[in-house]
């Protein structure tokens, strides 16, 4: 009974890991409108977290398969997805940080302009 339940869970998990929603989210990453940048950064972060969780789950399931003497399932495609996604993650993280710095710089400039205008 335990092996049957484990096999069912493994099949369900394998399907879940294969479908990490990369295809559902990558189409939204192609828009570069400045007003939607922050939501994209949040989507990128969530997708990265999901990919990392899928990788951790794969390692956990492989460890359990080893303990039960079952053949180890190859989840190398999850690591490949992480490697493929990493440049997008770096881009959106860097551009988000740059946008925040630009916004803060503009805010400081407007505050300085207001302060100098009040002194006159």
Average pLDDT value for residue range 15-20: 51
Q: Read off the pLDDT of residues 68-93 as tens digits, 9 standing for 90 and up.
A: 999 999 999 999 999 999 999 999 99
Query: Which residue ranges make up each domain of the chain?
Result: 1-20+42-94
Per-residue pLDDT for 63 more than 90?
Answer: yes
Give the C-alpha separation, 86 to 92, whole Å: 10
- Report pLDDT for 4: 44
Give the C-alpha separation, 61 to 64, whole Å: 5
- Report pLDDT for 97: 85
The structure tokens listed for 88 are 């997008």
Per-residue pLDDT for 62 more than 80?
Answer: yes
Average pLDDT value for residue range 34-47: 75
- Report pLDDT for 41: 84
Q: In this structure, are residues 61 and 10 in contact, taking their beta carbons and an 8 Å threshold?
A: yes
- Of 21 and 38, which is predicted with more confidence? 38
- Report pLDDT for 29: 45
Give the C-alpha separation, 30 to 40, whole Å: 9
- Report pLDDT for 49: 97
| The overall pTM is greater than 0.85 | no
């Amino acid at each position: 009974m335990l092996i049957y339940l484990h096999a069912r869970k493994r099949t369900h998990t394998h399907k879940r890991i294969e479908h990490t929603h990369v295809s559902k989210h990558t189409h939204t990453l192609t828009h570069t409108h400045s007003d939607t940048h922050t939501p994209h950064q949040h989507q990128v972060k969530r997708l990265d977290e999901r990919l990392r969780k899928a990788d951790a789950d794969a390692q956990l399931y492989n460890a359990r398969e080893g303990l039960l003497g079952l053949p180890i399932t190859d989840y190398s495609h999850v690591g490949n997805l992480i490697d493929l996604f990493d440049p997008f993650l770096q881009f959106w993280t860097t551009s988000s940080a740059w946008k925040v710095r630009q916004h803060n710089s503009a805010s400081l400039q407007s505050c300085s302009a207001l302060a100098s205008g009040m002194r006159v």
